[in-house]
Amino acid sequence: MARRMPTLIEELVDWLRIPSVSTGDADPEAIRRACNWVCERIEAAGGTAAAETVDGGNPMAVGELRAARPGAPTELAYGHYDVQDPGPLDAWESPPFEPTERGGRLYARGAADDKGNFLPLLHVACELARSGELPVNVRFLVEGEEEVGSASVLRRLRDEDPGADCAVVFDSLMADERTPAISLGARGMARASVEVRTGERDVHSGLYGGAVLSAAHVVLAMLAEIAPGRDGRVRGELAAGLSRLSADQRIVVVLRDAFGFSYEDIARTASMPVGTAKCYVHRGRARLRAGLEAAATATGSSDTRSPAADGQP
Residues 79-118 pLDDT 10s: 999 999 999 999 999 999 999 999 989 999 999 999 999 9
Give the pLDDT mean for 258-268: 70
pTM equals 0.69
151 to 43, 129, 258, 283: CA distances (angstroms): 26, 31, 44, 29
Element (H, E) at 48: strand 48-52
Nearest to 51 by CA among 76, 73, 21, 29: 29
* Alpha-carbon gap, residue 47 to 63, rounded angstroms: 7
CATH 1.10.10 in the chain is located at 247-310
Fold assignment, 247-310: Arc Repressor Mutant, subunit A (1.10.10)
Plot region of 7 (φ>0 → left; ψ -120 to 50 → alpha; else → beta): beta
Q: How far apart are CA 86 and CA 78, in angstroms?
A: 23
State the Cα–Cα distance between residues 255 and 265, nearest whole angstrom. Answer: 9
Residue 75: active-site member: no
Structure confidence by residue, pLDDT tens digits, 157-182: 999 999 999 999 988 887 777 777 77
Predicted pLDDT at 305: 41
**Residue 197 pLDDT class (50, 70, 90 cuts):** very high
Cα 160 to Cα 36: distance, rounded to the nearest angstrom: 22
Fold for 8-169, please state it. Answer: Aminopeptidase (3.40.630)
Dihedral sign computed on CA atoms, order 227, 230, 231, 236:
negative
Q: Following DSSP, what letter does each residue of 154-182 receive, concatenated?
A: HHHHHHS----SEEEE--S--SBTTB---
303 catalytic residue (yes or no):
no
Percent of the chain with pLDDT over 90: 53
CB atoms near residue 289 (< 10 Å):
19
Q: Where in the chain is the domain with CATH 3.40.630.10?
A: 8-169
CA atoms within 13 A on the CB side of 110: 30
d(C-alpha 152, C-alpha 158), whole Å: 10
Q: Which of 8, 12, 30, 13 is nearest to 21 (CA)?
A: 30
Find the catalytic residue in 52, 143, 145, 146.
Answer: 146
Determine which one of 82, 114, 147, 257 is catalytic. 82
The predicted model gives 2-27 an average pLDDT of 87
Per DSSP bridges, beta strands 74-80 and 137-143 are: parallel
